[in-house]
Structures are given as C-alpha cells and as structure tokens.
Structure 1
Amino acid sequence: MAETVTLSKLLHVRENDRKEAQKVYHDALAFFEDIATQFYTLLRKKEGAEESYDNSLQATVPLEMIKEQITYIEMLNKQILELQEKVQHARSEMEAKQLKLIDAHVEVKKYEKIIDTRIKSEEEVRAMREKDSMDEISIRQFLSHKNR
C-alpha cells in the first residue's frame, strides 16, 4: 500500500509536468498560428501588388509608378523570405513542444497503469488472505465440533 501512495505522488508530479507541457505547447501553437497568419497576409499583399503591376503594364502608366510597384514587390519578397524563416522556426518549435507533450502524456499513462496493476495485485492478495483466513476459521469450527 505504501508503494501505491508513493506512486500516486509520482503520478501527481508527472501530471503537473504534463499540464505544463500542454501549456507550453498551446503557447507555441498560438505563436505559430500568429506567424503563419502574418505570412499568409503578406503573401496576399504580394499577390495584390503583382496583380496591380500586371494591370499597370497593360495600361499607360507613368514609368515612376511602375518602378514604385517593383520596389514594393521586392520589399514584400524580402519580408516574405524573413517571415518564411520565422514560420519554419515556429513550426519546428511547436513540433518539439508537441513531442514533449506526448512524452509527458505517455509517462502519466505509465504511472496510471502501474498504479492500477499494483492496486489489483493488492486486492488479489487481500482476497487470498481473506479466503485463507475463512478456510482456517472453517477448519477450526469443524475440528471444534468434531472434538465434542
């Protein structure tokens, strides 16, 4: 029984570790979603700028305006490359946190399984002792009635 109590305390510690890992994972997921949303928005801006540039080429537009559009698209490309690295980094961080969460969850399940096994084993031992005790009482009663 003392072993079960000790294991329960360890389980409690592992559950706290799992909750912490879950919180860290959710934070990493939120950060990834934020960066990915920024990335998507930037790609949409670039798409709009390129469409505007293509339209400008079809119409008669001053050369200065076309140069501004090209400069803007190049700036967006640079920002996209930088943000793409951030997205990849955020994704890898999120995946690492997810693996830690999975490991913590597995640890909790291990301790739960060990505790369940120990409890069942203790109950079986208790039932065996109770059965042996009942057998002994029955034998004594039988012998005491036989000796009369």
Structure 2
Amino acid sequence: MAKIVALSKILNVRESEKHNAQKAYQQSIEYFEGVATQLYTLLKKKEKAEEVQEDYKQNTIPIDKIREQITYIENLNKQILQLQQEVQSARTEMEAKQVKLTDAHVEVKKFEKIITYRKKELEELRQKNENIFMDEISVQQYLNQKNR
C-alpha cells in the first residue's frame, strides 16, 4: 500500500508538470497566432501597395510618388522578413512545447497504469489470502464436526 501512495504522489507531480506543459503550449500557440496574424496583415498591406504601384505605372504620376511607394514597399519587405523569422521561431518553440506536453502526457499515463496494475495485484493478493482463510475456516469446521 505504501508503494501505491508513493506512486500517487509521483503521479500528482507528473500531472502538475503536464498541466504546466499544457499552459506553456497554449501560450506558445497564442503567441504564434499573434505573430502569424501580424505577418498576414503586412502581406496584405504589401499586396495593396504593389497594386497602387501598378496603378502609378499605368497613369502619369509624379516620380516622387512612385519613389515614395517603392520605399514603402521596401520597408514592408524588411518588416515581412523580420516577421517571417519571428513566425518560424514561434513555430519552433510551439513544436518544442508540444513535444514536452506529449512527453508529460506519456509520463502521467505510465504512472496511472503502474498504479492500476499495483492496485490489481493488491486486490488479487487480498482475494487469495481471503480464499486461503476461508479454506482454513472450512477445514476447522469440518474437523470440529468430525470430532464431535
């Protein structure tokens, strides 16, 4: 029984670790989604800016406006490259946290199975001892009746 109590304590620790891993994974998902949304927004801005630039090429627009648009698009490209790196970093972190969560889940399941197995063994031993005790009582009763 002491073994089961000790295993239960370890299981509680593992469940706590699993819970923390779930929180960390969820936070990494939210961060990834935030950065990916920023990237998407920048890509949409760049797309619109390129459309405006095409319109400028079709119409007679002052060269300053075209330069301004090109500079704007270049700045967007720099921001996009930076955000792409952030998205990749966030994705890598999220995947690492998912691995930790999976490992924590496996550990919890291991201890749950061990505890279940030990409880089953304990119950089988108790049942076996009870059967032996009942057999001894039966033998004693038989011998008592025979001696009368």
Using structure 1 for the length normalisation, give the TM-score: 0.98
For residues 46 and 121 of structure 1, the distance between their equivalents in structure 2, rounded to whole angstroms, comes to: 67
Question: 1:59: how far off?
Answer: 1.1
Corresponding position of 1:27: 27
For residues 65 and 139 of structure 1, the distance between their equivalents in structure 2, rounded to whole angstroms, comes to: 108
Q: Secondary structure at the match of 1:61?
A: coil
1:130 aligns with 2:125: no
1:93 aligns with 2:98: no
- 1:9-61 CA-to-partner distances (Å, cap 9, x unmatched) read 00000000001111111111111111000000000000000011111111111
Q: Secondary structure at the match of 2:60?
A: coil
Alignment of structure 1 residues 1-148 onto 2, 5 Å: 1-148=1-148
Question: 1:80: how far off?
Answer: 0.4
For residues 50 and 82 of structure 1, the distance between their equivalents in structure 2, rounded to whole angstroms, comes to: 19
Instruction: Name structure 1 gaps, 5 residues minimum.
Output: none
Using structure 2 for the length normalisation, give the TM-score: 0.98
Identity %: 59
For residues 99 and 38 of structure 1, the distance between their equivalents in structure 2, rounded to whole angstroms, comes to: 26
What is the CA RMSD across the aligned residues, in angstroms?
A: 0.6
For residues 119 and 48 of structure 1, the distance between their equivalents in structure 2, rounded to whole angstroms, comes to: 66
**In the alignment, residue 41 of structure 1 is paired with which amino acid?**
T
Count of residue pairs the alignment pairs up: 148
- 1:65-115 CA-to-partner distances (Å, cap 9, x unmatched) read 111111101110011001100100010001001100110010000000000
Instruction: Name structure 2 gaps, 5 residues minimum.
Output: none
Q: Secondary structure at the match of 1:60?
A: coil
Q: Secondary structure at the match of 1:118?
A: helix
For residues 10 and 58 of structure 2, the distance between their equivalents in structure 1, rounded to whole angstroms, comes to: 71
**In the alignment, residue 138 of structure 2 is paired with which amino acid?**
S
**In the alignment, residue 128 of structure 2 is paired with which amino acid?**
M
